[in-house]
Amino acid sequence: MANNFGVCLTGASTARFYPRPGVVCRPIDKITPTEVAVARRAADSRAVVADFVTACAETVAGERSEEQSGDR
What single string gives the DSSP state of each residue in 12-38? THHHHHS--TT-------S--------
Q: Per the domain annotation, does 3 fall within a domain?
A: no
Query: What pLDDT is attached to residue 42?
Result: 93
Handedness of CA 52, 53, 54, 58 (dihedral sign): positive
Query: What pLDDT is attached to residue 1?
Result: 56
Q: Per the domain annotation, does 45 fall within a domain?
A: yes
What's the structural domain count of the chain? 1
Residues 15-71 have pLDDT tens digits of 888 888 888 888 888 988 778 889 999 999 999 999 999 999 998 887 776 666 765
Q: Which residue has the higher pLDDT, 15 or 72?
A: 15
Query: What pLDDT is attached to residue 10?
Result: 83
Q: Per the domain annotation, does 48 fall within a domain?
A: yes
Q: Can you tell me the distance from the alpha carbon of 53 to that of 40, in angstroms, rounded to the nearest whole number?
A: 9
Q: Per the domain annotation, does 64 fall within a domain?
A: yes
Note the pTM of the prediction, 2 decimals: 0.52
Query: What pLDDT is attached to residue 2?
Result: 59
